[in-house]
Every structure is written in structure tokens, then in C-alpha cells.
Structure 1
Amino acid sequence: MHKLYFTRHGETVWNVENKICGMTDSPLTKRGRAQARALGQKVKAGGYAIDEILYSPLSRAADTAKAIADATGIPARCEPRLREQCFGKYEGTPRNGEKFRISKTCFADRYDGGESMLQLAQRIYNLLDELRDQPDKTYLLVAHNGIARVVESYFHDMTNEEYALAGIRNCELVEYHFD
């Protein structure tokens, strides 16, 4: 069965401060770097048959991917489509803010200068379609929580509310299967 793995970057400064990162390049914390190294060891010890790591150009994901690649020897390359969604006016604001929570269920909303969920889904779905059409390769995607929601929606039916609430922990490893 053709697999795909996904992980979110390690903990960042703005994760600790409960701020929306989006396209703002918040660096990994000491804990985030340790999480990335630990995930690399888990992948190495777990016998995952991963052919290549694709990662977001934002440093928090790139640094996480490079730590995994260093631990495993798996080749890694930047995939620009994996960058986090631009949340416009919400970047740097509290992640649990009421207005942002409501806006996340409005899929055409561009957040005054940002990127809509529909635009985000288009670029991620296009990438996933390309990876699906490569059944001889298994990829690990290293990206962001916003990307995690889109990937989850690609593989599973979700309501708008489930989509808005979906996410994964820093350096959590999720396995998906292409049908």
C-alpha cells in the first residue's frame, strides 16, 4: 500500500507564546530542536521506509526536516507549496482568539491580506495528487498545523467545524494511505 507520512515542525517561540505563526518565521525553541532530533531517532529506529523528506521553506520546518535527515540519512528537499498559510491580520495574535476561531470556518476569507483556506487547499491538494501518482516512493512531509488540517481533509471526510479544530502536536508523526 502506498503511504505518506506527515509531521509538524518542532515547538517554536510563538507556539510557547500562544501566537499564530502563519508565514511569520518563528524559530524553534531548545525543546523544538530536541523534538526534531527525537523524531529523527524514532524514524531511524522504526524502520520506516521513507524515500525522501519534503519540507516547508520556513525555518521551523526546514530545521526540523534537516534534523530528521541528519539522523536518518534520508534525502531532504524544500517544497515551497508546504509553506504555512498566510493568516494576514491574525499573524502574531493569540491562537485561541474568538475572531480567529470563527474566521477559520469561513473558507474564502483571506484575513485582510492573507491566504484563504480554499487557496491553501488547492496548492496542498495539487501536491498530494502528484505524490499519489508516484506509488514507488514514500514521502515524509514536514510542515505546519495549517497544512496538517488540509492533509487530513484530503484523506478523510470532515465537517467545516472538524476541519477548523483539527491539528497535530509538534513532531507528531502521522501515517496516511493512498487508495
Structure 2
Amino acid sequence: MGTVYFTRHGQTVWNVENKICGATDIPLTQLGHQQARALGERLLAEQCPIDRILYSPLIRAAETARHIAEVTGIPTQPEPRLTEQNFGIYESTPRDGMEFRTAKAQFVNSFGTGESMLRVAQRIYNLLDELKAGRETCLLVAHNGIARVVRSYFVDMTNAEYAAYGMHNCEIVSYSF
């Protein structure tokens, strides 16, 4: 039975401002850099058996992965399928906006110019299927929207539970195949 670890990137300015980042490339804050280094220290201290770090190519996840790798020595690899969902017309709008919350419940909705949750789930589930078939233990460094999809792969969730699920910056969870 294999394991996959998942973490959300460190804090960004838009996280602080309660804005939807989505596919917009927003950098880490100073605290976000500190959170990533601290997570690397934790993984090193706990001797987590991670073979490789796969990360979203968006700068906030790439920088988080870089800091973790600098501390732990774990090799990294960009994984485009871990890119956050493109929330289209809702990018940079309030995360808790009622219009967005309503739209988010529609899994086939592409948010105008964005990407539907079904399409995101397809690419993430395909990645997880590949990892399940492999022998490596990987840390996935990605985003809150991706965290929901990863969790839904391992845990049965209602639509409301799916929409409500979220992770703190640099929180880490593990899942067993």
C-alpha cells in the first residue's frame, strides 16, 4: 500500500486579502516563504519517507517546493496537472463571495473563461492513478482547489463537504492508496 502526501503552498498576498488566486500566478509573502521552510524542517525532523516532490508550476507552489527541497534534499519535479483550477471570471474576487459560492456548486461550470471542476478532477485523478501504480512516495505541493479534488479521490464526500473543504497554508496531510 502506497502513500501520497499533500500540502498547500505558503501564504500569498491574495490569501491575506481573501481573494481567489486560481490560475493567476501570485507569489508568496515573506510569511509564506517562512511557512515553506518550516514545513521542510518538520518533514526532515519527522523523517517522512518522501522520494520525490511534485509541484504545481505556479510560482507560489514552485517556491514552496523549492524551500522544502532545500531543507530536505528531496528531488523536485514540476507537474502541470497540479496547477490550480482556473476560476475564470472569479479570479481576484472575494473567496467568500455569494455569487462564487453558488457557481462553485456547479461542477460542470467553467466560470466563463475558466475550467470546470470535472476537468480538474479528471487530470488529478489520472495523476493519482499513476502514483498509485508506481512505487514512489510523493509529496504533492499544490493549491486549495486541488486539495479538495485529492481528498475526494480518497474520501467519499457530499457536494457540500467538497465545497467546504480547505487546507491552511503549508498544512500537510497523508493519504494511503
TM-score range, shorter chain: over 0.9
1:1-179 alignment, distance < 5 Å: 1-134=1-134, 136-178=135-177
Describe the SS at the equivalent of 2:84.
coil
Q: By how many angstroms is 1:2 displaced?
A: 1.1
Looking at structure 2, the residues matched to 122 and 36 of structure 1 have their Cα atoms a distance apart, in angstroms, of: 28
4+ runs deviating over 4 angstroms: none
* Offset, 1:71: 0.2
Equivalent AA in structure 1 for residue 144 of structure 2: N
Size of the alignment, in residue pairs? 177
Q: Which runs of 5+ in 2 are unaligned?
A: none
The alpha-carbon deviation at position 58 of structure 1 amounts to 0.1
How far does residue 72 in structure 1 lie from its aligned partner after superposition?
0.2
State the alpha-carbon separation in 2 of the partners of residues 57 and 82 from structure 1. Answer: 8
The alpha-carbon deviation at position 116 of structure 1 amounts to 0.3
| Letter of the structure 1 residue corresponding to residue 69 of structure 2 | A
1:103 deviation in Å?
Answer: 1.0
Aligned with 1:175: secondary structure? strand
Provide TM-score, normalisation by structure 1: 0.98
C-alpha deviation, 1:34, in angstroms:
0.3
Q: Percent identity?
A: 64
Unaligned regions of 5+ residues in structure 1, if any?
A: none
- 1:41 CA displacement: 0.2
Residue 4 of structure 1 aligns to a residue in which SS?
A: strand
- Distance of 1:137 and 1:82 partners within structure 2: 17
- Inter-partner Cα distance in structure 1 for 2:109 and 2:60: 26
Q: CA RMSD in A?
A: 0.5
1 CA distance for matches of 2:172 and 2:22? Answer: 21
**Helix, strand or coil: the match of 1:86?**
coil
In structure 1, C-alpha distance between the alignment counterparts of 2:107 and 2:32, rounded to whole Å: 30
